[in-house]
């Protein structure tokens, strides 16, 4: 890597990948097939990942949001100066009300950092279907190096300089995908779903701006692109989770039905905390949380959205 004397064009990277979930496992397979040397670690394997850092050119974090702070605290004393981190987690932390990269920066300081996000359903990539994603970093050189090094035959990579906006869009689309699953689960039709997702974009725009992201990011791969993929596919856990809520299951039963991490509920709650502190109006997020908390059923949540006071249309 350019940050420690190596260049991706010179050969394979030694990558430490944190997380063995669906997305982490997919990335490991893609990059192993591309010739990179992978050391994959998961908490369920036991032991610490700290011993893997010394021989790494790049660390990739594909863990849940709840896992970042414990990992950051554990790895910070062992982190080599200049070792880059690529964060692939999507969500808003309920304690610090920040994104994944902001959490990592809290623990690691100003180490080279980039974000990977986009419309990337792991199952489709595993089947060799084409996809695109964005590597976002304030360090343009790092973003360009990773773009070249980590590309794969069925994964095209773009870059931007807005990691926070990229993460905010990627986090909030999970909430909107959950809401889309509710809409489809209730059989509300294409008109309702199109309206829901359009107003969902307006809510994402408000949160993106509040966190300091760039407006244009909303319409890129990590924003509109990711929303279109996850709000329309049963491969999306958040979408399927919304469908289970529409059936009348409570949050615990719906999570059990998915059997894997679903970031939408945690993100919705954290986003509402953020909204209250900044006087943001996020009615879709609000009704999702009302439903999660058992204060209404799915049809009542939809009715409340439809009965809101008339207002001009505005994106953000």
* Residues forming the active site: 173
The CA distances from residue 44 to 19, 47, 60, 71, in Å, are 9, 9, 17, 13
CA dihedral angle for residue 149, residue 225, residue 215, residue 109, rounded to 10 degrees: -40
Report the side by side order of strands in the sheet with 37-41. 37-41, 14-18, 58-61, 85-87, 113-117, 131-136, 155-160
Any idea which residue has 């953020």 for tokens? 274
Q: What is the DSSP string of 140-203?
A: HHHHHHHHHHS-BTTEEEEEES-HHHHHHHHHHHHHHHHHHHHHHHTT-HHHHHHHHHHHHHHH
């Amino acid at each position: 890597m350019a940050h420690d004397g190596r260049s991706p064009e010179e050969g394979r990277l030694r990558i430490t990948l944190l997380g063995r979930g669906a997305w982490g496992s997919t990335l490991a397979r893609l990059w192993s097939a591309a010739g990179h040397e992978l050391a994959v670690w998961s908490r369920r394997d036991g032991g610490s990942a700290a011993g893997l850092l010394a021989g790494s050119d790049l660390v990739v974090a594909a863990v849940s949001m709840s896992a970042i702070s414990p990992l950051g605290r554990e790895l910070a004393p062992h982190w080599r100066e200049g070792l880059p981190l690529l964060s692939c987690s999507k969500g808003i932390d309920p304690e610090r009300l920040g994104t994944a990269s902001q959490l990592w920066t809290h623990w690691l300081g100003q180490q080279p950092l980039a974000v990977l996000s986009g419309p990337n359903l792991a199952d489709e990539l595993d089947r060799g279907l084409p996809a695109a994603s964005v590597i976002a970093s304030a360090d343009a050189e790092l973003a360009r190096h990773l773009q070249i090094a980590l590309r794969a035959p069925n994964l095209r990579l773009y870059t931007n300089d807005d990691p926070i906006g990229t993460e905010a869009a990627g986090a909030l689309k999970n909430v909107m995908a959950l809401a889309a699953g509710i809409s489809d689960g209730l059989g509300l039709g294409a008109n309702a779903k199109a309206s829901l997702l359009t107003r969902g974009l307006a809510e994402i725009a408000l949160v993106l701006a509040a966190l300091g992201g760039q407006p244009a990011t909303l319409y890129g791969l990590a924003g509109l692109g990711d929303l279109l993929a996850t709000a329309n596919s049963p491969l999306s856990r958040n979408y399927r989770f919304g469908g289970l809520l529409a059936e009348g299951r409570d949050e615990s039963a719906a999570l059990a039905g998915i059997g894997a991490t679903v970031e939408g509920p945690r993100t919705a709650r954290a986003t509402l905390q953020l909204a209250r502190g900044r006087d943001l109006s996020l009615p879709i997020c609000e009704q999702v949380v009302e439903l999660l908390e058992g204060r209404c059923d799915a049809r009542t949540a939809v009715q409340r959205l439809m009965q809101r006071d008339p207002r001009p249309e505005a994106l953000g």
